[in-house]
Structure 1
Amino acid sequence: MKDSTVIVVGGGVIGAACAHYLVKAGRKVTLIEKDLFGHACSLHNCGYVCPSHALPLTEPGAVGTAIRGMFKSNSPFSVKWRLDPKLALWFFRFARRCNKKDMLQGGKAIHPLLVSSLKLWKEIIHKDKLSCEWKSKGLLYAYASKKAFEAFAATDELLRHHFNESATRHEGDALQELEPALKPGLAGGWHYEGDAHLRSDLLMASWKQNLESKGVEIHEKCTLTGIIENPDSSVTVSTDRNLFEGSHLVIATGAVTPHLREELGWRAPIQPGKGYSITMPRPRICPEIPVIFPETKVGVTPFESGYRLGSTMEFAGYDDSLNPKRYGLLLKGAEDYLQEPHCEPIENIWYGWRPMTHDSIPIIGPCPGRKNVILATGHNMLGLSMAPGTGKLVTEMITGSKPHLEPAPYSPERF
């Protein structure tokens, strides 16, 4: 019946989380995905579940760092400049928020969603027995430069003071004692022990089976073509295959949400930020703790079944090519830090479009002008980390339950 059915558009981790909590609340769920469930940005990311990532990208000095990086061939950040007023406006709005006040304000929106989601992930994985190689080993920031290592102390103090997220400091030899896979001689590292990680491709495969076993109808290779709000407040969704009806519609389409401007009557202020990953077997000397190297912006994730390097940020629009220079930076960026930075054979080279908002805060709430269409998008680089909290909040909005988080900071009306 349409009065109890919710249609979810988007088969990534956010759409899956929305479906999970809607079914738990007693709703029937129809999920449509234009490609394959669990693909796009949810497939081969680094798998971090990280409350320590509370601070938005809009930190003081971020604009200068980005501009300097654009003129370096080995920079992890790149922009393919083109005549695109929307991209220019996005960067203008981003630059205006690169100050301490707005940074902390953004963090106060981001952090509760991260903390909630970490707790909820543990519940979901335990109760539903999702197979995803979950590990609670924290996240380690490792530095080669003494200056950069010491400079991070100010960031750690911000996280400690404002968000109660504090790291254990490991200097010199103590760092290699903590993680023997690192090269000797590094300056030090900061270990956020409360973070966790999982293997996202395994998660999504397992979650699909779990959702289908609970009655979720998943329609793959099914593209949204229109949205009609009916006089009785129900929603009819047309696709290239058939029509679907429900009481509400959830849009969880990530970086491609701006493509739905005509259907929604509203354009999501999102830019795709292209990230890369390389998956391979575990090296002989493999880290046990996920590690980020901030100096090269490369992340390393060890899984039980493999090993992944990931990162870079490329604003190149909806470019679907694999740039050898970009994924080459991942291989190079780990070499100064790890005894065995990579391993043959390379199993997968991948990219995903991150849905980047200029304030680093996701968009969760009713679409302007459409009260029964709920947006759940714009999670930047933290979709996996924020998914359960988002799914639960969306479900609370639809069912009229008391929200477990204050929803106002995520409202689309802020734009």
Structure 2
Amino acid sequence: MKRDIIIVGGGAVGLMCAYALVKQGRDVTVIDEGDITNSTSFGNAGLLSAFDKSPLSYPGVVGETLKLMLKGESPLTFHPTLDLKIYRWLLKFVQSASEERMKKSMALFEKYGQLALDLYTQMQTEDGMDLDLQKKGLLMVYTQEETFKQKVKKSQNEERFEILDVAQTKHYLPCANDRIQGSVLLKKNAHIDPRCVMLEMKAFLEKSGVHFILNEKIEDLIFENGDIRYVKSKEQLYEANTVILSTGYQIKLARKELMLTPAKGYSITFEMPEILKPKTSLLFADMFIAMTPRRNDVRITSKLEIGSNNKEVVQKQINSIKENFKRYTLPFEMKNPVEWCGFRPLTPNDMPLLGRDEKYRNLIYANGLGWLGITFAPAIGEIIANLITKEQANGDSDDIMAFSGFFQ
């Protein structure tokens, strides 16, 4: 049986592509090597942080990272490797850390972040999905006086920011201690529960007629007459008119070089006293530790391991996160902690890799969102769905030309 559209990969981006396509009346099949509940998207912080927050590659990032390394607070761990592609990635990352690139990235983040936030709101209000969407802003908490002063200077006289001293910060973050310097509330941002997003999306898509083939790994693509014809697992061939690769950091199936690297990150999800829980999502900006309150628990996420292929939780990294976090918080017990790690598909300039393959027109990429998969997934789904339903070439899509890293 020939299928209309097959999406390989059932993370947040893959599911949002399915959502946008089924809304436009297309027949969609999602194939995933897991069962959806074990995807990297489940370990996401849940930040919808597209507004007023610098991308990962920003001016001064190298120097600031080295300073944090000397203090033992750096989120970055680099594992020396013989893989030259990683060193090319690092070079492009450094080259992208310019003022011009940052301004362009932040303008694009604003545009597509707003589209994604509007779509999440629609899913919750019109489609009846319970996403635990909270539009309370993102609190940038500073632990270094110098960086706090710099942020305050940039944020003054702007209605979209609220500058908070230590006492005011503790209102939002009751577990903070006196070592913090203050904070800035980025009012336009929001947060969401990734678990709710994934489970609600899957249930909605199944009711909408999307077919799921789970626990089946696609091992190869088969082409005929200049088009992709089949996706092949160990046991099955699946024929399709169009194939979308939304495979995260796994790029074996790609038919072109994807400039991304697996970046290993960690999260700890735990229960804590209600009186100490933060009022909104936050980022310890000087340490790159995110903290997100949820209905029944709290999640902290951190770390950026480059060059690692170890899929297991490294306790040393978990302990490092806890130690850095505890330096700036009051003592409390993390009850029923769940420790997690996963690999994010990170591009050197924070731009996703979207669009048609140059050689095989019915092969489409939706990769490279890094830890911004939850932030931008609904917008990516819209872009990819429009590319397909309008039968556009890459150059015909303003969104592809603007937002895809293939054309940056």
Partner of 1:95: 94
Question: Which residue of the other structure, out of 165, 170, 180, is the alignment partner of 1:176?
Answer: 170
> Are 1:256 and 2:256 an aligned pair?
no
Partner of 1:303: 294
Q: Which amino acid aligns with 2:263?
A: G
Partner of 1:383: 373
Partner of 1:329: 320
Distance in 2 of aligned mates of 1:265 and 1:246: 17
Q: Which amino acid aligns with 1:42?
A: S
Unaligned runs of 5+ residues in structure 1 are: none
Q: Secondary structure at the match of 1:132?
A: coil
Cα distance, 1:18–1:188 mapped onto 2, change above 3 Å: same
Question: Which residue of the other structure, out of 361, 375, 389, is the alignment partner of 1:399?
Answer: 389
> Are 1:410 and 2:364 an aligned pair?
no
Distance in 1 of aligned mates of 2:179 and 2:346: 36
Write the deviation string for residues 71-115 of structure 1: whole angstroms up to 9, x where unpaired: 665421110111110111111111112211122223333332212
Q: Which amino acid aligns with 1:370?
A: Y
Q: CA deviation at 1:174?
A: 2.4
Partner of 1:205: 199
Partner of 2:210: 216
Write the deviation string for residues 43-76 of structure 1: whole angstroms up to 9, x where unpaired: 1211111222653222112223334555665421
Question: Which residue of the other structure, out of 190, 193, 199, is the alignment partner of 2:187?
Answer: 193
Partner of 1:84: 83
Cα distance, 1:341–1:83 mapped onto 2, change above 3 Å: farther
Cα distance, 1:279–1:178 mapped onto 2, change above 3 Å: closer
Q: Which amino acid aligns with 2:214?
A: E
Distance in 1 of aligned mates of 2:397 and 2:185: 29
Q: Secondary structure at the match of 1:201?
A: helix
> Are 1:60 and 2:59 an aligned pair?
yes
Question: Which residue of the other structure, out of 294, 298, 317, is the alignment partner of 2:308?
Answer: 317
Alignment: residue pair count? 404
Q: Secondary structure at the match of 1:370?
A: coil
Conserved? CA contact 1:182–1:287, under 8 Å: no
Relative to structure 2, which stretch is displaced further, 220-229 or 381-390? 220-229
Distance in 1 of aligned mates of 2:407 and 2:23: 30
Distance in 1 of aligned mates of 2:333 and 2:112: 33
Partner of 1:21: 20
Question: What does 1:140-289 correspond to in 2, within 5 Å?
Answer: 140-153=139-152, 156=155, 166-184=160-178, 186-231=180-225, 235-257=229-251, 259-260=252-253, 264-284=254-274, 285-289=276-280
Question: Which residue of the other structure, out of 353, 357, 377, is the alignment partner of 2:343?
Answer: 353
Write the deviation string for residues 249-282 of structure 1: whole angstroms up to 9, x where unpaired: 111111112x22xxx3212111011110001113
Cα distance, 1:311–1:265 mapped onto 2, change above 3 Å: same
Write the deviation string for residues 181-222 of structure 1: whole angstroms up to 9, x where unpaired: 433563211111221112112321222111111111111111
Q: Secondary structure at the match of 2:301?
A: strand
Distance in 2 of aligned mates of 1:14 and 1:152: 32
Q: CA deviation at 1:337?
A: 3.1
Q: Secondary structure at the match of 1:365?
A: strand
Conserved? CA contact 2:179–2:328, under 8 Å: no
Distance in 2 of aligned mates of 1:157 and 1:58: 24
Write the deviation string for residues 11-45 of structure 1: whole angstroms up to 9, x where unpaired: 10000000011111111111100122142320121
Conserved? CA contact 1:11–1:38, under 8 Å: no
Q: Which amino acid aligns with 1:316?
A: G
Q: Secondary structure at the match of 1:211?
A: helix
Cα distance, 1:378–1:203 mapped onto 2, change above 3 Å: same
Partner of 1:291: 282
Partner of 1:363: 353
Q: Secondary structure at the match of 1:345?
A: strand
| Length-normalised TM-score, structure 1 | 0.90
Relative to structure 2, which stretch is displaced further, 193-202 or 88-97? 193-202
Q: For the aligned residues, what is the CA RMSD?
A: 2.5
Distance in 2 of aligned mates of 1:181 and 1:64: 30
Q: Which amino acid aligns with 1:149?
A: F
Cα distance, 1:404–1:366 mapped onto 2, change above 3 Å: closer
Partner of 1:112: 111
Cα distance, 1:342–1:313 mapped onto 2, change above 3 Å: farther
| Length-normalised TM-score, structure 2 | 0.91
Cα distance, 1:223–1:147 mapped onto 2, change above 3 Å: same
Conserved? CA contact 1:79–1:315, under 8 Å: yes
Q: Secondary structure at the match of 2:250?
A: helix
